[in-house]
Structure 1
Amino acid sequence: MEAKVVREEEARKITEFGGVIKEYVMGDTVHFLVGYFKPGETMKPHYHVEPEEVYYVIKGRGKVLLGEDWIPVEKGTAIYIPPKLVHTLTNTGDEELVMAFLHAPPEKGTLKLVERKE
């Protein structure tokens, strides 16, 4: 993949998993996205068969589900998620939650949704 610059308005918009997720880079070895979640919004629970994932909280606060454990998160928090671990997030704050997502290797069709009964 060649070097490239992607501006916010050029990023591919994904809405089927909850919130608005913007895909900035789908490289050969890395996948970078930014998610925007309104207060109370939740991402659909899922796992990735192969990629490792890192979440980074840019703005706001919420909670992240890692397996069976809910962990509170806020601006400046990084979360490592190994392959095959069920995870999701919820905005528990009163402002927008903005999260960066990094997959390595790239998420190319191995995401699996999981039904959860709360």
Structure 2
Amino acid sequence: MSTSPAQKINARDVAPNRRRGGDIRVLLSPKTVASTSGFMGQLTLEPGEHVSEHYHPYSEEFLYVVRGTMVMKVEDQPVRLNAGDSLMVPIKARHRLENDGEEQALVVFHLSPLAPRPELGHVDTEPLPNAADPTLQVGHG
């Protein structure tokens, strides 16, 4: 049985997706490393920025706050997140993340399992902050 070598991706080498707010970079995914069970990335939010409300019909979302303070609203219930905190968002739970702190926030996220097709994995439930800007129309991982 043959196994593939480990694959390394650097965040600087991945184009940011700013359409839903912040700087979202899908690092390890079916597209970048041929993953089969989920995908992982990082989110950078400046003070006052947010990621628009959405849900994942097929995936749980796991977050780890590396730096900063934020509020994640899950089904309209606020959850305070500080550096070192982790949070699991259940499948189909609406959620919205906002940096209400005074410094840049950095979050690592992972979603699993994968949706049957990429376009089915994410459902927006509020207007996207950057949807009208054609320079921000970066495809997802």
Is 1:64 aligned to 2:67, yes or no?
no
> Equivalent residue of 2:123, what SS?
strand
Q: How does 1:1-118 map to 2 (within 5 A)?
A: 2=4, 3-26=6-29, 27-106=35-114, 108-109=118-119, 110-115=121-126
Task: Look up the match of 2:136.
Answer: none
**Residues 67 and 86, structure 1, Cα contact 8 Å, conserved in 2:** yes
Greater helix fraction, Structure 1 or Structure 2: 2
Question: How far 1:11 sits from its partner (Å)?
Answer: 2.0
TM-score (norm 2): 0.77
Pairwise CA distance, 1:48: 0.4
CA distance in 1, matches of 2:104, 2:17: 17
Secondary structure of the residue that 1:9 maps to in structure 2?
helix
Question: What per-residue deviation string (whole Å, max 9, x for no partner) do you get for residues 47-88 of structure 1?
Answer: 001011101101000100111201111001100011100001
Q: Cα RMSD over matched residues? A: 1.6
- Confirm or deny: 8 A CA contact 1:12 1:24 kept in the other structure: no
After TM superposition, the score normalised by the length of structure 1 is 0.92
Q: Given residue 17 of structure 2, which amino acid in structure 1 is its aligned partner? A: I
**Which of the two has greater strand per residue?**
1
Matched pairs, number: 116
- Determine what percentage of the aligned residue pairs are the same residue: 22
Looking at structure 2, the residues matched to 16 and 106 of structure 1 have their Cα atoms a distance apart, in angstroms, of 21
Deviation, 1:8, is 1.8
Gaps of 5+ in 1: none
Following the alignment from structure 2 to structure 1, what is the Cα–Cα distance between the partners of residues 38 and 62? 11
Q: Secondary structure at the match of 1:12?
A: coil
Please identify runs of 4+ aligned residues in structure 1 that moved more than 4 A: none
Whole-Å Cα distance in 2 between the matches of residues 55 and 13 of structure 1?
18
